[in-house]
Chains A and B, each alone.
Chain A
Amino acid sequence: MTPSPQDQGNWQRVHPISPLVRGWVAVIGVLVVFGRNTFEDLLRSASSGGRDAVEGPPAWLILAIVGGAAVIFGTVFFLSWYFTRYSVSDDHVRVNSGVLFRQQRQARIDRVQAIDVVQPLLARIFGLAELKFEVADAGKSAMRLSFLRLDEARRLRAAILARAAGLTPLAGNAGAVPEAPEREVMRLSPARILGSTVLSGTTLTLVGAAALLAVLASSVRSWAVLAGFLPLLLGLVAAYWKSFSTEFNFRVAVSPDGVRLHYGLLDTRSQTIPPGRVQAVGITQGPLERLAGWYRVHVNVAGYGVDRSEGGGRSVVLPAGTLDQVLQVLELILPDPGTPDPVGVFTAGLTGKDSDGGFQPSPRRARWLDPLAWRRSGYRATGTALLCRHGVVFRSLQVVPHERTQSLGLFQGPLMRRLRLIDFVLHSTAGPVRPVVHHLDLMQGRQLFLAQASRAAAARRIARPDRWLEAPQPIDQDKEYLHEQ
C-alpha cells in the first residue's frame, strides 16, 4: 500500500461482520450442498432403523468439514474485511479493497451526483447500512462502503454532503457536521403502492397474456398450453412483488442537501439527490393509471445510469402521484419552472393537446405518420426548461433544464422529408428519460434547434456552481477553480 501525501491518517475499516452480510448467500449455498447430503444420509439411516448407519460419514468427518468450512470462510471474510479501508478527506472519498487484486478508488467529493444509504434485509437486522456514492459515470462504478453502522453511515453522508455543498468543516472533525434537517413532504400509503402495482404495465402484460392464452386454449381445446405460460406467470408475480416491496412506504422529503427519498419493505433505501443534479425529468401515465389519475415521475441522474440491477427503481422519484403531488415533486427538483403559471403549463403538458398551455404542436399533416398521438406531440420552452409532450395512450411529458442539455439533434427520414416534418432530439445522460419531440414542422424544428442551442449556451454561463451552498460565480472564476485540479 502506498501512503499518499494527502493521507490524513483517518483510514477506517468497515464493520467486521460486513463480509458475512455480503457473502451470506455463499455461506448458505455451501451449507445446503454439504448439509443436504449429510441430512439425507441421516434420514436414510434413521428410516432403515439404523442398520445402514455405518454407511453414513462418521461424525468426526462431518465436524471436520463444517469446521474446515468455518475456518475457510472465516479467513476469507477476515482478509476481505482487513484489507477494506476507507477515508473521507476534505476533497476526496477513497476506498481500498481486495486481497490479491488490490483496488484503490478515489472520487472527488464535489463531483457527487447522489448518495444512497441502502439497507438490505440482513443488514437491517444487524443495524448496518451501505453507503453508495455516485459520480457521473453512467452507473458503472459507484463508491460503496458496505457495511457501516446505520448512524455512522448517516453521519458520513452528512459530512460528505456538507463538503460537497461547499461548507468546510474543520479538518479531521467530520463528526461535528450535524445532519441537515429534513422535512417530509409526501408519504404514499400502502394502498396507493398496492394500487400503483396493480395498475402498472405488468397488468397490461398479464391481460395480454391471458387473452393470448384464451385464444390458444379455445383453438387447441386443451389446457396443456397453460403449462407453457407458467414461467411467464411466475415472472409476472415476481414483478408485482418486486414493484410492491421496492416502492412500499415511499416518502419524499426535502433538506438543504437536496431531495431525500425513502422507500422499501424488506430492503430499505434512502436516496439523496443534491440540488442541480437532476438532468431530466419524465412524467408518464399508462392507460390503467389514468383510471386512477396517477402519474409516475422518473429522473435522469448522471450516476444512476440505466442500472436496473437494484430493483430498477432508483430513478423513480414518485411511483404514483396525483397531479397535485406531481407538481409538488416537480417544485422540489426544478425549483424554478421559468414560467409565471407553472401549474397551467405542466397540466397542459400532462393532459392537454394542440396548443393548450402555450405548447407548440405538430402540424396537422403529422397524422399520416402518427394517427393517434399527433395532437399531443409538441413542445414548450419556459425560461429554464424545455418541455416535450407526447403519447396519447401512454402519456408522457419530459422536462430538460436548459443548463443540463448535453447535445441536440435533428432527424429526418424519407417519409418525414416528403411531409416536411422533423424530429427534435435532446441528448441527456443515460437514464430512463430520453427526451424527444416528434414530427415538428420543418421550419419550426430548425428554429427550435438553433434557439435551444443558444438557450442552453446562455443557461450554461449562469449555471449554479457544483457546490450548491456557495454563491454563483461568474464563469472566469469557475475556470480558475477548474485549473486547480
Chain B
Amino acid sequence: MFRNLSITLQIVMLVALYIFLYMPILYIVYVSMQTTAIWPFPPDFTGEHYVNLWHATDYHTGFRNSLIIGIGTGMISSVIATMAVIGILKYRVKGSKLIAGLFLSPLFIAHILIGISSLMFNKTLLGLPGNLFSAIIANATYATAFAFLVLLAQLARYDWRLDEAAMVFGATPRRTFREITLPLVWPAIFGAFIVSFLLAFNNLEISFYNLGATPTLPTLAWGSLRHGISQELYALAALINAAVFSFLGLLYILIRSGVIRMDFKD
C-alpha cells in the first residue's frame, strides 16, 4: 500500500515535470501558427509569421553566423574531447583524474564569466577585436565539457582489449584507431559533436560578449524579445525546437545502435 503510494507519487512528479518542460514549447509552436499571440482561442491558423521570417534578411545573417559558430565549436570540442576521453580511459595513468577535472570544470563556471573574461582577455591583453573566431574559441571551452561528458558515458563501455589485440597483430596506433576504435565509437563522437554544436548554435551569453555587433540567432532573439511580442520570433523558436528534437532523435537512434554494438563486454 505504502509502496504503491510512493510509486504513484513518482509517476505523478514525472508527468508533471514533462508537462512543465513541454507546455511552454508546445504553446509557442501553437502561437507561432496563429494570427494573434494574445489568447489565440479559438484557433485561427496562418503561415504568415513563417513567411515573414523567411523574408527577414537579418535573420539570414544571424542564421549563417550561428551555423559557423556551431560547426566550429562542434569540431573543436568533439575532437579534443574524444582524444582526451580515449587517453584517460585507455591509459589510466596517474593524473588522469586531475585532467578529467579540468575538462569538466567549465560546468561549474557561469557563462557570463566565460563571456566577459574572454572578451577582456582578448581585447586588453591580446589586442584582438571580437569576431566569430573568438566566439568559437570561447564557446568551445564549455561545449568541450559537455562533449567530454557524453563521450565518457559512452566510451566507458568500450572494451580496450580490442585495441590491444590489434596492436598484438602488429597494427600501428593510428591504424588501430582508424580500423578498430573509430568504427565502433563514432556514434558517441557524433553525439558529442551534435551536443556541442547545438549548445554553441543557441548560446547567447558567451557569443554576445565576444561578437561585438555581429548578429547570431540568439542575439537577434534577445533584441526582438526586448521589443515585446514578435511572432516571427515564435516561428523561429518553433523551428529551432523542431531542429533540436530531430537531431536528438537521430542521436538517440545512433547511440542505441552504437551501444548495442559496443556492449559485448558484459
B and A form one assembly: no
Interface residues of B (CB under 8 A from A): none
